[in-house]
Structure 1
Amino acid sequence: MVIDVPSLRHTIAADLRAQITTGSLKAGERLPSEPRLASDYKVSTPTLRNALALLQAEGLIEKIHGKGNFVRHPLRRLTYAGGRLTPDADLHVTIRTTNLRARGDLIPLLKVPSRTPLTEFLCLTHQGESPHSLARIYVPRDLAPAELPWRPTGLAATQETVTARLPTPEDASTLRISSTQAVLAITRVSSDTAGRVLKAARLVLPGDRANALFTTHHTNEERGTEG
């Protein structure tokens, strides 16, 4: 008979998880320092960090650089449908605007020559003090609006690509999530009748707080051909 013995990191994670779920460690509370926890559990610092990584991947704690590990507040789940996120009164957005030039994968994404002037809007959604989701919106600078939200004129078509993937190091750092936590990466490209890209948006939604909803509308002709 094989007995499955939990590893030290799973045992530590289970103990801290129980403290969080029972309220002994409350939302927003800072955990003891990593050296203190390692000493309390009589393990090495790497083992302790592996245990904390499990809780971070579950969305129970977050690590804030220079401050420590904190218990997360319960996460709001949003639904992405038709190019929009379901609004939530508890969330707020900060927007940072940067002028740059097209390079790398932005060139084929916006169908522009290299070094074409662009404006990037970095939109970071927060729940309280915690980052929730992010979007990077790219617009040719001659079309860039003064502020968001903005719907370009002459819009003819929008194409969406949805991918489940691991976060980039920048995504993980910005959203304070584990590098092993899956995210929904949504790319929306909007163009006019001539095929010129008016706006391209890249959304990153951690999988523990977002759903994607897709609805198909059938015409009468399509209904008539169904067997």
Structure 2
Amino acid sequence: MDNTSAYAPKYRQIAYLLRREIAEGVLGPGQQLPTEPQLAERYNVSLPTVRQALGVLRSEGLIQSRQGIGSFVKETNRLQRSGWRHYGRARADQKLLTPHLRHEIVAAGVEPLPIHVADLFPEGTTQVVVRRRHLFDKDTGRPEEIGASYIPMEFAAGTYLEEPTVVPKALFLCIEELSGKRYARARDRLIARLATADELAVLELAPGSPVVHVVHCATAEDGTVLEVAENVWPAERTVIVNEYPITTV
């Protein structure tokens, strides 16, 4: 079989070939895959091997199986995610960064600084104000994002940012007002990994599904950390688009 690795198990080779057909549009959204016996004959393998291959594609969110009918390519509407352009739009219209999604604040208040973002804060920082959120598609109610913002105590402690309610405009605008500083620079760290058990439950994903984990650190012109935000997106429903000017030195 044509594959990048002839030494891979047969079920992974079959998953690779079917995945490629989906990516190239040979198998389009909503289209039914050949039956398990047809696939077994096509690739000259056993039915259990075919079922293992289909299980891989299901775990990746590429197909869904309907009992007694067969397997179909998932019709997924991928959300386009971009970075810095949202700041300008939100500054102009005074709305949330993602107004097309329904926001739910699931927790807000002072918490110990999480270890996985501690390196982004000044040494000695032990506590921050944390706002945790879940975002949903407004039409379908489908969960689309798990997020959290970590804000320095000096700007957010004792303020309305400790209340578990959706702020009336983009959070960065609220932080600018409270801190008296303006967002000037940002650095994003993107991590592709498998979802945790909690993320699978919240995002309603199949076991073994991948996610995109973004850690976003925003600073003022003087280097002060104003906010560290993290977002977890289902990889199968996400397209990341970066657009920026190219300069020469």
What TM-score results when the alignment is normalised by the length of structure 1?
A: 0.59
Match of 2:108 in 1: 98
SS at match of 1:159: strand
Cα 1:88–1:97 shift into 2, 3 Å: closer
Partner Cα distance (2:153, 2:232) in 1: 23
Pick one of 64, 81, 84 that aligns with 2:83: 81
Q: Which structure features the higher share of helix residues? A: 2
Give the Cα separation in 1 of the matches to 2:183 and 2:140: 37
Aligned-residue CA RMSD (Å): 4.5
Structure 1 match to 2:126: 115
> How many residues are aligned here?
189
- Unaligned 5+ runs, structure 1: 24-41, 63-70
Tell me, what secondary structure is at the counterpart of 2:77? coil
Alignment of 1:21-170 (within 5 A): 21-22=30-31, 51-61=54-64, 74-82=76-84, 84=86, 89=100, 91-99=101-109, 100-111=111-122, 113-126=124-137, 128-144=140-156, 145=161, 147-148=166-167, 149-150=170-171, 151=173, 152-153=175-176, 154-169=181-196, 170=198
Gap regions ≥5 residues in structure 2: 33-46, 66-72, 88-96
Contact 1:78 1:210 in 2 (8 A): yes
Scaled by the length of structure 2, the TM-score of the pair is: 0.55
Q: Distance in 1 between matches of 2:64 and 2:108?
A: 31
- Percent identity between matched residues is 12
| Structure 2 counterpart of 1:197, one-letter code | V
* AA partner of residue 157 (structure 1): A
Counterpart of 2:226, as a letter, is L
Offset of 1:200 from its aligned partner?
0.7
Residues in 1 aligned to 2:239 and 2:99: alpha-carbon distance in whole angstroms:
12
